[in-house]
Amino acid sequence: MTPDVQAFSFISPTHIRFGSGTVSELPARLGEVGGTKPLLVGDPGMAANGLLGRVEGVLRAAGLAPVLFSAVESDPDVASVREGTRIAAEAGCDSVVALGGGSAMDAAKAIAMMMTNPGTPRDYAGTNRLKAPPLPIIAIPTTAGTGSELTIWSVLSDRATGDKFGIGSPMLCPRFAILDPELTLSLPAGLTATTGMDALTHAIESLVCTASNPFSAAHAEMAIRMIGENLRTAVAQGGNLAARSNMLVASALAGAAFNNTRLGYVHALSLPLGSKFKIPHGMVNAITLPAVMDFNLPGNLPAYARIATLLGERTGGLSLRDAARSSVEAVIALKQDIGLHQTLADFGLTEDRFDEVIDEAMTSGNCQVNPRQATKAEMRAILRAASG
Ligand SMILES: [Fe+2]
């Protein structure tokens, strides 16, 4: 059954280029956005595994002289954004290329923004607060999870204050997303698993939320199907190009979906849990997703039943309630198959800190579109379920 269509908008302005070897197009794409001196943003892992050097080589072979900034830590801090902006400004960079996972892309977006806007990143926390367009951004993801290559969001940490915040603006959508699955082949199994669960969480939260619309749902549903069919293989056989290709496309699809709907309680909780307990983003989502789904079921039984089917569950003959419930079982089975057995307790969360986490989570805009509103006691029950 298709629900009545409510008023909605859908944007996806990023030009997607997908295919093995597409990273070699980077100089041409830079030319299209007027980039002559790019800041190439990566993380120390990208420098160590040679991918940063490879992309630098592609640019140098085309006669370009990129400026490297490879000090982006996971959960990028505002201090890194400040440092990257300083380097880009001193060198006179006119464009930004992001190579890596969500951390590199989110840092690159913030640097591109701070090159053209005054003040500090915190001044732009929230949505639609940029005063001027950022430098043109080209995103080259090396994980299949964040979807940041297509989204309006940059999520930053502030270690001085101990929190994370998001900056959202359509102007932060990269001009190009170069999706080259060969760049994801070397991602270790553990990171493949957690980043893949991040992508699945994006698609599920977008599909079940109250802001879901036919366009976002089409993207989310395809993402869920592709992740269900490919994540196990990508984790078990890192060198499987077909599985890697499908995961990279699925991650982008999920990004396009949630870019237009926002998310839900999993992502609302992931900001305080990630910043206070140092739990990697994909990991914390994977841990809380089944408990949040279980709570949310009554809020959107048809969508959860659909998720079960997309994840390969047999739902014929089941009641709508039972079919929806089997989506939770499907996610738990997927987690087990890709080796994710952790709980929140494994990262040091204890009951005396539940309220602190919940109070911060409830300030997230993602809560507004969650399909079922929780009391504080119900949020505690979700955290308890994800702790044991
Ligand atoms: Fe996420």
For each of the chain's 388 residues, which pLDDT tens digit applies? 566 788 999 999 999 999 999 999 999 999 999 999 999 999 888 889 999 999 999 999 999 999 999 999 988 999 999 999 999 999 999 999 999 999 999 999 999 999 999 999 999 999 999 999 999 999 999 999 999 999 999 999 998 998 889 999 999 999 999 999 999 999 999 999 999 999 999 999 999 999 999 999 999 999 999 999 999 999 999 999 999 999 999 999 999 999 999 999 999 999 999 989 999 999 999 999 999 999 999 999 999 999 999 999 999 999 999 999 999 999 999 999 999 999 999 999 999 999 999 999 999 999 999 999 999 999 999 999 999 8
Nearby residues of 278 by Cβ (< 8 Å), 6 or more positions away: 347
Asked if the structure places residue 127 within a domain, the reply is yes
| Cα–ligand 1 centroid distance for 248 (angstroms) | 15
Q: Does residue 339 share a domain with residue 193? A: yes
Dist CA 367 CA 219 (whole Å): 21
Q: Does residue 78 sit in the same domain as residue 25? A: yes
Residue 348 Cα to ligand 1 midpoint, Å, equals 21
The predicted pLDDT at position 237 comes to 98
| CA angle, residues 181, 184, 186, in degrees to nearest 5 | 135
Q: Are residues 113 and 202 in the same domain?
A: no
Report CA(234)–ligand 1 centroid distance (Å). 19
The answer as to whether 4 is a domain residue is no
Last residue of a domain, one of 184, 209, 229: 184
Within a domain: residue 90?
yes
Residues 73 and 210 grouped into a single domain: no
* 141 C-alpha to ligand 1 centroid (Å): 14
Asked if the structure places residue 10 within a domain, the reply is no
Phi, psi torsion values for 21, nearest 5 degrees: 90, 0
Closest by Cα among 322, 113, 283 to 201: 283
Contact 347, 329 (CB under 8 A): no
- 53 and 107 in a single domain? The answer is yes
- Within a domain: 9: no
Is 7 domain-assigned? no
Domain that holds residue 39: 15-184
pLDDT value of position 163? 83
Residue ranges in the chain assigned as alpha helix (H):
26-32, 44-48, 51-61, 78-91, 102-114, 189-208, 214-236, 241-258, 265-277, 281-296, 301-310, 320-337, 354-361, 376-385
Separation of alpha carbons 141 and 138, rounded Å: 10
CA of 240 to the centre of ligand 1 (A): 24
Same domain membership, residue 156 and residue 296: no
Categorise residue 313: left if φ over 0, alpha if ψ from -120 to 50, beta otherwise. Answer: beta
Kindly give the distance from the C-alpha atom of residue 100 to the centroid of ligand 1, in angstroms, as a whole number: 15
Residue 131 to residue 123: CA distance in whole angstroms? 11
- Same domain? For 142 and 268 the reply is no
Q: What is the pLDDT of residue 277?
A: 95
Which pairing describes strands 67-69 and 137-141: parallel, antiparallel, or unpaired?
unpaired
Question: If you measure from the C-alpha of residue 206 to the centroid of ligand 1, how many angstroms do you get, rounded to a whole number?
Answer: 11
Structural domain tally of the chain? 2
How far apart are the CA of 316 and the centre of ligand 1, in A? 32
For residues 230 and 369, state if they share a domain: yes
Same domain, 329 and 280: yes
The residue out of 184, 219, 238 marking a domain boundary is 184
CB 164 within 8 A of CB 274: yes
- Whether residue 354 is contained in a domain is answered as yes
Expressed in angstroms and rounded, the spacing between residue 251 Cα and the centre of ligand 1 is 10
The residue count of the chain comes to 388
Ligand 1 centroid to 281 CA: how many Å? 7
pLDDT at 1: 53
22 shares its domain with 144: yes
Examine the domain organization and report whether 145 and 280 are in the same domain: no
